[in-house]
Amino acid sequence: MGETPGYEEKVFLMEWLHMAFQTAITVMEAVKRIIDRSYLLPAIQREFVWSEEQIERLFDSIMRGYPIGSFLFWKVSRENLKNYQFYEFIKDYHQLKSHNQKATLMGDENITAILDGQQRLTALYIGLKGSYASKVPYMHWDNPQAFPRKKLYLNLLDELGAEEEMLYRFKFLTQEKAQERSKHSYWFPVGKILEFNPDNPFELHKYLLENNLTAEYAGRCLFRLNEVITKNAIISYYLEEGQELDRVLNIFIRVNSGGTQLSYSDLLLSIATAQWENRDAREEITNLVDEINRLGSGFTFDKDFVLKTCLVLCDKDIKFKVDNFNARNMRDIENQWDKIRETILTTVELVAGFGFNYQTLTSHNAIIPICYYLFQGGNARDVLVSPRYAGERETMRKWLHLVLLKQTFGGQSDEVLRIIREVIKNHHVSFPADEIKARLKGTIKALELTDEEIDNLLENQYGKKYTFSVLALLYPSLNYRYSFHQDHIHPRSLCSNRDKLRRAGIPDNEIDFILQNYNKIPNLQLLEGAENISKKDRPFAEWLEKTYPDAVAREQFKERHFLTGLDLSLNNFRSFYENRKKALKNALKQMVL
């Protein structure tokens, strides 16, 4: 039993009862209404987020007769069609580039907008009429073959047991994979069930005979699929007929407050879309997110980042709440959108030039102050490319690494963003890194690094999220527009293998020390990609001698990599590790101070 509803919940439940409960419809009827575009999505809906497995489980639940929840629809009057933006359902989902397309309306259509149930209806639509393309593990994102197009199939010969998570074997497969047939495998394309006359069972019998599907289970399975998709009215829904935006938004927020939380940015973006006059906010912001995520080695920015940045740049209250997305604020953002867009693009391009990507930029909000500074100065492109701003770029680079290492923007970051914005507004002739540091001194967001914190930072291991920032602070002169690798000075292939270390003559007590520490920052360096590839797993001292036969060049390399005066033989790994750690610690303290 749930808790007794409070006053607000009671009021809402009473309002809910005023909505008309409609006669349930079949899945086939719902899909037809999506196809003829009488079912559309309001701009307040987020985009489709379900995985293949979630869709497969939904179809299994339907086959088992499980309830799939009620739906909430909104009947939009023809007079109101021009006041709102609507989007079509996704039919062919692609993990990398699927966005709902804007619906073009004539103004005389009968439109029903989906307030609750978009994910389930899209899943049914994809399963019956569309396809799903998700990334194959371990393949590169920019490889077109990493996203094979798959349709939903049902195995008519593989009866699962009651102990299995699913009773019916639904699976998204490529056409080639689905054609593989065996004693226990016949993959029926689920969408084909819509091609049969639901009232003529002879067509199903004929299909079974023509495909030699004589097993009892195959017949039961196919007839059950026909029943639940074309005959059983399982789409139960309420219909809201009120036309007031506030009421619709209130209902939408309430019904989406449980389960997978509705992203506030989706709701706020929908409000912006409704209030921008000359542009489509959703389209502009979604396109910008896609564009900045393609810069450099790739990023994972989202709508939240862009929306919050808009509030910061336009000097609005930073908090994510409906009140801050009022008509006046939205008009200000729309009027300045070209400059906002260009500044965000330039900022991300600058950050990519610092060597960051989706793995190493551990806080998106951390770059908003840089964006605000460039926005205030009005010369963002000059700061990005002009040699006269090289020193300023270095200041921003070092500051960004520091705030990421200090996790300054972790947790609730609105207040620290507000403080930094205020500092920049009063000191925007050059990026005020020192002024920001002074303003935050003594707070929980202070930017000083203690000895203990530096020691902890140097414990970071190869490939971890903060390792790049530590190494990048130690290598300020590298041009990160080239590819640099995190390289093990003493090679990982040797240091991670106890047997190899024994054969190299390393004593057991020293082997334990190597195994515990070889992957940490004191044994790491940033090495240009081609140089790192040439190094491979060769002993470091041997590689260094051969690559830099000139003694002066060799010493310069050692100086750049904090190796001057260190014994580089593996036999003295402990001494090498401890002395290089001291050198790195001193360098970090000096840089931060």
Pairing of strands 20-21, 524-528: unpaired
Q: Is the pLDDT of residue 505 over 70?
A: yes
Helix (H) or strand (E) holding 17: helix 7-17
Q: Is beta strand 20-21 parallel, antiparallel or unpaired with respect to 237-240?
A: antiparallel
Contact 558, 550 (CB under 8 A): no
Tell me which residue range forms the domain holding 193. Answer: 144-222
Q: What's the token pair of residue 571?
A: 């036999």
| pLDDT tops 90 at residue 368 | yes
Average pLDDT, integer, range 33-60: 90
Q: What is the pLDDT of residues 101-143, one digit of tens each?
A: 888 888 777 889 998 889 999 999 999 999 999 988 888 877 8
500 and 549 part of one domain: yes
Give CA–CA dist 339/56, Å, rounded: 44
SS3 491: coil
Q: Does a structural domain hold residue 396? A: yes
Write down the pLDDT at residue 529. 62
68 inside domain: yes
Residue 421 and residue 317 share a domain: yes
CA–CA distance, 502 with 157 (Å, rounded to integer):
55
Burial level of 246, CB count in 10 A (0-12/13-18/19+)? Answer: exposed
Q: Which of 50-54, 102-106, 558-562 has the highest mean pLDDT?
A: 50-54
Same domain for 414 and 277: yes
Final residue of a structural domain among 423, 448, 473: 448
Answer with the one of 433, 448, 463 that is the final residue of a domain.
448
pLDDT in tens, 13-22: 445 545 556 7
Residue 253: pLDDT band with limits 50, 70, 90 = low
CA distance 568 to 136: 42
- Tell me which of 44-53, 257-266, 436-445, 530-539 is least confident: 257-266
With respect to residue 391, please indicate whether it lies within any of the assigned structural domains: yes
Residue after which a domain boundary falls, among 162, 190, 222: 222
Query: Beta-strand (E) ranges in 151-244?
Result: 151-155, 170-173, 187-189, 237-240
Residues 160 and 121 in one domain: no
Residue 255 covered by a domain = no
User: In degrees, to the nearest 5, what angle opens at C-alpha 15 toward C-alphas 11 and 17?
Assistant: 120
Secondary structure of 503-518 in the HEC alphabet? Answer: HCCCCHHHHHHHHHHC
Residue 188's beta-bridge partner residues? 154
Paired with 133 in beta bridges are: 94
Q: What type of residue is 513?
A: F
Q: Which residues contact 160 (CB under 8 A, 6 or more apart)?
A: 166, 167, 168, 169
| pLDDT recorded at residue 6 | 47
Indicate whether 394 and 488 sit together in one domain: no
Within-domain flag for 464: no
The type of residue at 107 is G
Give 75-100 pLDDT, tens digit per residue: 888 877 776 778 899 999 998 888 88
Q: Are residues 277 and 422 in the same domain?
A: yes
| 432 within domain boundaries | yes
Rounded-to-integer distance, Cα 87 and Cα 269, Å: 14
Residue carrying the six token digits 């003559």 = 505
Residue 265: predicted pLDDT: 64
494: its two tokens: 């040797």
Same-domain status, 300 and 334 = yes
Burial (Cβ within 10 Å: 0-12, 13-18, ≥19) of residue 463: exposed
What is the rounded CA–CA span in Å between residue 167 and residue 509?
Answer: 55
Residue scoring higher pLDDT (414 or 19): 414
The pTM of the whole model exceeds 0.85 = no
* Shared-domain flag, residues 202 and 293: no
pLDDT at 336: 96
Q: Are 281 and 429 found together in one domain?
A: yes
CA-based nearest residue to 155, from 191, 120, 181: 181
Q: Does residue 475 belong to any structural domain of this protein?
A: no
* Residue 4 clears pLDDT 50, i.e. is over it: no
Mean pLDDT of the chain: 86
* CA–CA gap between residue 213 and residue 157 (Å, rounded): 8
Residue 572 resides in a domain:
yes
For the CA atoms of 158, 162, 164, 170, what is the dihedral angle to 10 degrees? 40
* DSSP symbol at 91: S
Tally of domains within the chain? 4
Query: What is the distance, to the nearest Å, from the Cα of residue 426 to the centroid of all Cα atoms in its chain?
Result: 35
Alpha carbon distance 348, 151 (integer Å): 37
**119 or 46: whose pLDDT is higher?**
119
Q: Is the pLDDT of residue 5 over 50?
A: no
Q: Which residue bears the tokens 């000059």?
A: 382
My answer on whether 441 and 348 are in the same domain is: yes
Residue-level pLDDT at 428: 72
The number of beta carbons lying within 10 Å of the beta carbon of residue 161 is 6
- 194 shares a domain with 169: yes
Contact assessment for residue 280 and residue 85, using Cβ atoms and an 8 Å cutoff:
yes
Judgement on whether residues 153 and 284 belong to the same structural domain of the protein: no
Q: Are 411 and 363 in contact (CB under 8 A)?
A: no
CA distances from 108 to 77, 78, 86, 387, 472 (A): 9, 6, 14, 58, 60
Tell me what pLDDT residue 19 has. 54
pLDDT tens digit sequence for 187-244: 999 999 999 998 888 999 999 999 999 899 999 999 999 999 999 999 998 888 777 6
Q: Over 90: is that where the pLDDT of 379 sits?
A: no
Report residue 153: phi and psi, to 5°.
Answer: -125, 160
What pLDDT is stored for residue 367 in this prediction? 97
